[in-house]
Amino acid sequence: MPIPDLYRLDELFTEEQRLIQRTVRDFVDEKILPGVRQWNRDAVFPVELIPEMAALGLLGATIQGWGCAGVDYVAYGLIAQELERGDSGFRSFVSVQNGLSMYPLLAFGSEEQKDRWLPPMARGEVVGCFALTEPDFGSDPGGLITQARRTAGGWVLNGVKRWSTNATIADLAVIWAKDEAGVIRGFLVEKGTPGMTAPEITGKLSLRVSVSSEVHLDDCHIPAENALPGAVGLKTALMCLNQARYSIAWGAVGAALACFEEAVEYAQTRIQFDRPIAGFQLVQAKLARMWTEITNARLLVLRLGQMMDQGKAHHAAVSMAKRYNVQTALETARTCRDLLGASGIVDDYHVFRHMANLESVYTYEGTHDIHTLILGQELTGLAAYA
């Protein structure tokens, strides 16, 4: 049973936004939910669905031109929400393709780079990845040690990246490295370039329907035209992360809704002490709290989306939404798992998979605590990172 829309939030979306949401919802119902349990067991991302996501206009969704759909940020948020209702892995794929691969090209690439790469990326023929994190530099990316040294014809890259989503299956990697002056720059490295390998990280207990990789760069030579001309300084990498964090904040709502809908239905049908557990006050208290929190999360991202469309979204506002919504989703998933009792720990139900996924989402794209510190700095003017 769908959860009643108590605050009539659906009325705040345009007809076009609702149509996009329904389209993605149908895709998730028909193409993702039937297979997701097995993909999660096998730890595979079904690459065969990439062309279908591309055909729906989900790749580069907010970009105007180059064959992209050019939808507004609220519609893009609804896309992320519906995808993550299926599994965080699909929303991660789209966040990385859009915010971390196509956005850096759009914002910092040359016209030639945009014309060459954006159309096939929109068609899903070229998969992108973004490699900023290193084994010893996660929350502190400014310390990264991957080197970019100028050569006669271009650059040579050396270093190791870790936790790069999609890298093993990627055709194009956006690599962040320091030049001889210690300035962080973004580079494009094409699949098959000698010196680059991207082994998959195995043994994950979270985000299993998503490819996570290391990227090894050993004297990897790239031509001068593969440097992103505008990607100079850590700030430019952080601008990409801001794009991805926006979609994460919306996506978390989808994961929370999936868990909540499953738990409400379960509580109404699970009989203990001769009555549905939904009739117990302690259960209703949990449901009431989750419903309110999810409604809050939905309002937060809707307003954030409007500000994104107006070009007025401060990066701290994005941090606030990522932090609050992912925490809300994770707490919702844990409470829903509790409400399902022992049934909550098997994959006949979706809650445990979402709960495990959200542990990664809580950590990536700036951990929960790093977003706390971003907000603290914005409020007080004092940076408390170090």
Ligand X SMILES: Cc1cc2nc3c(=O)[nH]c(=O)nc-3n(C[C@H](O)[C@H](O)[C@H](O)COP(=O)(O)OP(=O)(O)OC[C@H]3O[C@@H](n4cnc5c(N)ncnc54)[C@H](O)[C@@H]3O)c2cc1C
Rounded to whole angstroms, the Cα distance separating 141 from 136 reads 9
138 near ligand X, rule: CB under 6 A: yes
- The neighbour count for residue 229, using CB atoms within 10 Å, is 12
207 near ligand X, rule: CB under 6 A: yes
Catalogue the E-assigned strands of the chain: 64-65, 68-69, 128-131, 147-150, 154-165, 172-178, 184-190, 196-197, 212-223, 227-232, 271-272, 275-276
Q: Which residues pair with 174 in a beta bridge?
A: 130, 188
Specify the residue for token string 């939404």. Answer: 321
Residue 96 Cβ vs ligand X, minimum distance, rounded to whole Å? 5
Q: For residues 78-117, which are near ligand X according to CB under 6 A?
A: 96
292 near ligand X, rule: CB under 6 A: no
Rounded to whole angstroms, the Cα distance separating 101 from 117 reads 10
Q: Which residues pair with 68 in a beta bridge?
A: 65
Q: Catalytic residue numbers?
A: 365
Of the residues 21, 102, 365, 374, which one makes contact with ligand X according to CB under 6 A: 365
Residues with Cβ within 8 Å of 256's Cβ and at least 6 positions away in sequence, in order, are 290, 293, 294, 297, 325, 328, 329, 332, 333
Applying CB under 6 A, which part among 4-12, 73-81, 254-262, 367-375 lies near ligand X? 367-375
10 near ligand X, rule: CB under 6 A: no
Applying CB under 6 A, which part among 28-36, 105-113, 307-315, 365-373 lies near ligand X? 365-373
**What 3-state class would DSSP assign to 127?**
coil
Rounded to whole angstroms, the Cα distance separating 253 from 257 reads 6
360 near ligand X, rule: CB under 6 A: yes
187 near ligand X, rule: CB under 6 A: no
| Count of chain residues binding ligand X (CB under 6 A) | 21
Q: Which residues pair with 337 in a beta bridge?
A: none
Q: Do residues 247 and 94 make contact, with C-beta atoms less than 8 angstroms apart?
A: yes
7 near ligand X, rule: CB under 6 A: no
Rounded to whole angstroms, the Cα distance separating 349 from 32 reads 14
Of the residues 169, 302, 307, 370, which one makes contact with ligand X according to CB under 6 A: 370
Applying CB under 6 A, which part among 57-65, 104-112, 126-134, 227-235 lies near ligand X? 126-134
Q: Do residues 58 and 71 make contact, with C-beta atoms less than 8 angstroms apart?
A: no
Helices (H) and strands (E) in the chain, counts: 12, 12
**What 3-state class would DSSP assign to 59?**
coil
Of the residues 36, 132, 156, 333, which one makes contact with ligand X according to CB under 6 A: 132
Residue nearest to ligand X as judged by C-beta position:
138
Applying CB under 6 A, which part among 50-58, 108-116, 296-304, 356-364 lies near ligand X? 356-364
Question: Please, which residue, 66 or 163, has the CB nearer to ligand X?
Answer: 163
139 near ligand X, rule: CB under 6 A: yes
Of the residues 27, 66, 163, 324, which one makes contact with ligand X according to CB under 6 A: 163
Of the residues 79, 94, 131, 340, which one makes contact with ligand X according to CB under 6 A: 131
Length of the chain: 386
Of the residues 343, 367, 375, 377, which one makes contact with ligand X according to CB under 6 A: 367
Question: Please, which residue, 17 or 133, has the CB nearer to ligand X?
Answer: 133
**Residues of the shown chain interacting with ligand X in the complex, contacts defined by CB under 6 A:** 96, 130-133, 138-139, 163-165, 207, 212, 360, 363-365, 367, 369-370, 373, 385
